[in-house]
Amino acid sequence: MSRVRQQELHSLLELPRPTSQEINDDILGPTVTIGPQFKTAVGGLGIIVALGVAGFILKAADGFDDRTNWGYYAAVFAFLFTTCQGALLVSITMRMAKTHWRRPLARVSELFAIVGFFNLLVFLPLLWTIPIADERQSIWFEWPWGAPRVMDALAMIFLVINGLALLWASSIPDLALYGKRYGGTRGAIARFLSTGWNGTPIQWKILKAGQGILGGLYWVFLIGVHFMLSSDFAMSMVPGWVDAIFPAFQALSGLQSAVATTMVALYLVRRFGRHDQYIYMEPFWALSKILLGLTLLWFYFWFAGFITFWYGRKPIEINVLQLLMIGPYRVAFYLAIFLTFVVPFLILMWNWVRRTPGGPTLASAVILVGTFMDKIRLYVGAYSFTDQELTDAFHHESAFVDEVLPATGPLIPSFFQTNWPDGSDILVIAGGLAMPFFIYLLATKFIPVISIWETKEGYLLSGVKTVLRRRYLVLAKPD
pLDDT digit string, tens, across residues 405-420: 443 333 345 556 788 8
Helices (H), 102-148: 103-110, 112-123
Residues of the chain scoring pLDDT < 70: 1-16, 133-137, 140-146, 386-416, 478-479
pLDDT at residue 136 in the model: 63
Nearest to 72 by CA among 332, 308, 330: 332
pLDDT at residue 405 in the model: 42
| Three-state DSSP state, 127 | helix
Antiparallel, parallel or unpaired: β 470-475 and 462-467: antiparallel
| Three-state DSSP state, 239 | coil
pLDDT at residue 403 in the model: 45
pLDDT at residue 334 in the model: 95
pLDDT at residue 34 in the model: 86
Nearest to 456 by CA among 125, 44, 17: 17
The amino acid that residue 235 corresponds to is M
* DSSP classification of residue 235: G
Nearest to 361 by CA among 272, 431, 447: 272
Q: How would you label 306-337 residue by residue, b for 16+ Cβ within 10 Å and e otherwise? A: beebeeeeebbbbbbbbbbbebbbeebbebbb
pLDDT at residue 165 in the model: 96
pLDDT at residue 281 in the model: 85
pLDDT at residue 390 in the model: 56
| pLDDT digit string, tens, across residues 295-326 | 999 999 999 989 988 888 777 778 788 888 88
Task: Check: CB of residue 345 under 8 Å from CB of residue 291.
Answer: no
Q: How would you label 64-89 residue by residue, b for 16+ Cβ within 10 Å and e otherwise? A: eeebebbbbbbbbbbbbbbbbbbbbb
pLDDT at residue 412 in the model: 41
Rounded to two decimals, the pTM is 0.89
pLDDT at residue 173 in the model: 92
pLDDT at residue 111 in the model: 95
* Rg, C-alpha atoms of the chain: 24
